[in-house]
A = this chain, B = another copy of it.
Amino acid sequence: MDNEDSQDKWQIQLRKGALELVILAALRGPPVYGLAMLRHLQQFPTTAITEGTLYPLLDRLKREELVGADWIQDGDTRPRKYYRLTAKGERKFQALAASWRQSITDINALLTMPAGAPVDTQGS
């Protein structure tokens, strides 16, 4: 239950998937701490979220073991909580990225296709 096959009807939910996707994407490289990631995402209007969105989501990803976190003290500054991708998170990222691409394809198809005229009817 709830393994990475849970795209059961999750391709449908690009609404939920999109944010999760970009967060996992942000963590592919070196570990990042919360506020840094927030600033990273705020570069783009589409992903300009706030702390109230980010931290609960990171919590969920951690409960699902897609990300891990370590408190690291960086020289002088106060310790920060650095997040990183687990192996499971890596796989999930690949899967989500794939269904993201599929969704784009599907939606683009619908954007060029009204419901009224399925295949047909344009002169002969």
Contact B18 A115 (CB under 8 A): no
With A18-B15, A46-B103, A103-B46 known to touch, is A111 a contact of B25 (CB < 8 Å)?
yes
Find residues 72-124 in chain A having any chain B CB closer than 8 Å to their own CB.
97, 100, 102-104, 106-107, 109-111, 113-118
The answer to whether residues A28 and B114 also contact, given A14-B18, A15-B18 and a CB cut-off of 8 A, is yes
Interface of A is mostly: helix
Number of identical protomers: 2
**Interface residues contributed by chain A, number (CB under 8 Å):** 44
Chain A 20-39 interface mask (CB, 8 Å, partner B; 1/0): 01100111111110001100
Residues of chain A at the chain B interface (Cβ within 8 Å):
9, 11-12, 14-16, 18-19, 21-22, 25-32, 36-37, 40-41, 44-49, 97, 100, 102-104, 106-107, 109-111, 113-118
